[in-house]
Amino acid sequence: MSNSSVDVSVFQPLRIGPLTLRNRFIKAATNEGAARNGIPTGQSLRLHERIAAGGAGMTTLAYCAVSADGRTLPDQVVLDRNSLPHLRALTQAVHREGAAAAAQITHGGCFTFLPPSGSALPLSASGGFNKVGIMSGMLCKQAMTEADLAQVSGEFVQGARLAREAGFDAVELHMGHGYLLSQFISPLYNKRRDGYGGSLENRMRFPLRVLRQVLDAVGNELAVVCKYSVTDGVRGGNQAEDGAAIARLFEAEGAHLLVLSAGMNVESITTMFGSSFPKENRVSTGKPVIDAVVALKSLLEPQVRFRELYLLEHSRKVRAAVRMPLAYLGGVKSLESIEHLMAQGFDAVALGRVLLAEPDYVNKLRSGACRDSICTACNRCVAMMYTPGGTSCVLGEPGDAQLNAVGAASL
């Protein structure tokens, strides 16, 4: 196949805020299982280095908690001084390959399997019964006070500043999937009766406050990206029309790029991944709580068959609502789909499972070596993040358990 058949527009540079990407391909953040004691491991460095060498314009380090209490699981990156040299080693490796590096910064709120250190209950938009806590024993959550809001927004700012110091080119504020900022945005979680609850505009007040403070702190030097759920994917939650209205608020506040995701970790994970987690595609993680959650979800979730571009109908509504740069995410695994997205007016293509299966997929497209990814959307990479080697595709080599036991700076 000649590379003359490739739509060259996807290989053109893209400007997002102060950052120019070499092309329109972004490695989406996918939890990696590649952090130990709050620092990224050598396996994490190698993963992002390979993706950068494989041609992506930017690669995103997933789930960097803005505080120790912001983690959902023990082995996640914490943005603090201890992690700084290891984060810097990772960004330097990515930069040597010519790509940009983004840090996804976030806080889990009540979506956590860890008891909070500073209080008896995990924080959330509203208090009361905690659905996630059924599996962790934390059956209640507490509504954030004004002091809590100030504390956490300050932690996002400090996290963004540390990401800048570590050499990242962008920060991605995770505002989807049922994590803390999403808990404010979604009516599934936000039952407040004050100025932070009720209408969509009120529910957006705290997330927009975080965005504004991060923009003020680093927006002249780093691209500030927002990833959010265009639809919660369940009755009673935000629908795509709400997702379009949310995008308009992000645009008005000055976000540089939106990554359009969907679904919630607890209520609608098939909306997020576009397909079910069949029993034959599950792996044992060795962690009984996680295995139980995966098994229970498989029983309760409706069976959904994968189809390419499964979020396109929702994302089109956002594209029609705003003029700002948008990255489409959801079921992209062929050149035909990529070209269709560019023709639809999306500015970038975010790839998750595909780049786990083939880190060099972008280079293969550019050279004309292939059109379609080998990824089958089996979702086993999701469970693989709990194995000793961290996230990997079952069609290739597993992650290196030895590399995954040492800090990135040791390489």
Which DSSP category does 191 fall into? -
Confidence band for 210, pLDDT divided at 50, 70 and 90: very high
Buried b (16+ CB within 10 A) or exposed e, 86-107: bbbbbbbbbeebebbbbbbbbb
Higher pLDDT pick, 107 / 380: 107
Q: How far apart are CA 408 and CA 87, in angstroms?
A: 7
pLDDT at 291 over 80: no
User: CB within 8 A of 280, min separation 6: which ones?
Assistant: none
CA dist 66 and 217 (Å) reads 15
Task: Identify any residues that bridge with 60 across adjacent strands, giving them in sequence order.
Answer: 102
Nearest to 360 by CA among 24, 49, 45, 44: 49
Q: What percent of the chain has pLDDT over 90?
A: 84
DSSP assignment letter at 58:
E
Are 1 and 371 spatial neighbours (Cβ–Cβ below 8 Å)? yes
310 counts as catalytic = no
Task: Give me the pLDDT at residue 301, please.
Answer: 62
Counting beta carbons within 10 angstroms of the beta carbon of residue 174, is it exposed (0 to 12), middle (13 to 18) or buried (19 or more)? Answer: buried
pLDDT for the residue numbered 303: 81
Q: What confidence tier does 135 reach under pLDDT thresholds 50, 70, 90?
A: confident
pLDDT of 5 higher than 60: no
Pairing of strands 14-16, 19-21: antiparallel
For residues 61-67, give the mean pLDDT: 98
pLDDT of residue 150: 98
Kindly tell me if the per-residue pLDDT of 45 is higher than 90. Answer: yes
List the catalytic residue out of 63, 179, 328, 386.
179
By the 10 Å C-beta count (0-12 exposed, 13-18 middle, 19+ buried), 406 is classed as middle
| 404 pLDDT tier (thresholds 50, 70, 90) | very high
Mean pLDDT, to the nearest integer, of 332-356? 97
Give the per-residue pLDDT at 264: 96
What is the average per-residue pLDDT within 150-154?
A: 98
Q: DSSP string of 297-358?
A: HHHHSPP----TTTTHHHHHHHHHH--S-EEEESS--BHHHHHHHHHTT-SEEEESHHHHH-
| b/e code 365-403 from CB counts within 10 Å (16+ = b) | bbeeebeebebbbbbbbbbbbbbebbbbbbeeeebbeeb
The pair of three-digit structure tokens given for residue 57, joined into one six-digit string = 């314009």
Phi and psi at residue 257, to the nearest 5°: -160, 145
Identity of the residue numbered 339? E
Higher-pLDDT residue of 278, 280:
278
Residue 335 confidence (pLDDT) above 90: yes
As a dihedral over the C-alpha atoms of residue 242, residue 247, residue 248, residue 249, rounded to 10 degrees, the angle is 90
Task: Choose the most confident range, by mean pLDDT, from 103-117, 131-145, 280-294, 310-324.
Answer: 310-324
The architecture that CATH gives domain 3-405 is Alpha-Beta Barrel (3.20)
- For residues 350 and 326, the answer to whether their CB atoms sit within 8 Å is no
